[in-house]
Amino acid sequence: MKRTASAEWKGGLKDGKGTISTGSKLLSNAQYSFGTRFEQGVGTNPEELIAAAHAGCFSMALSLQLGTAGLAPESIRTEAEVTLEKAGDGFAITAVHLDVAAKVPGADRAAFEKAANAAKEGCPVSKVLNAKITMDARLES
């Protein structure tokens, strides 16, 4: 399976702007710029898209792990916070923090934590990131 996305950039780093599109067309010419990446401009940025991908991937991986343990999740909410820091002459994504809240009828804390840790390690987006990944996982009633 392969998925695609594209980006087009016009102009210099600080005065330029670009668009990002996905093969599914869910994002179609979504605006991004220096301001949306390093300030609080309107639009998206690569780190926000990585955070969305990681949150989505992790949530599905946790659902799989819980199902494998015979548990059926009612809901899984994941927020991913990506840290972009100055590194040498450029920047690097150094960390991702996953904040997870799940409703899983019949799950005990130990089974939930085991599934959450396995999902954190096994999620394909976790595997591709060269960053420290931390997690807070809460089992809600």
Report mean pLDDT in 10-residue bins for the chain, 141 residues: 96 95 95 90 91 98 98 98 94 96 96 97 96 97 85
pLDDT at res. 106: 94
Residue type, 34: F
Domains along the sequence of the chain with CATH: 5-38 (no CATH), 46-140 (3.30.300.20)
8 in Cβ contact with 2 (< 8 Å): no
Q: How far is CA 68 from CA 16, 32, 98, 112, 139, in A?
A: 48, 40, 21, 12, 17
pLDDT at res. 39: 86
Query: Residue 108: which of 70, 82, 75, 136 has the closest Cα?
Result: 70
pLDDT at res. 38: 87
79 in Cβ contact with 55 (< 8 Å): yes
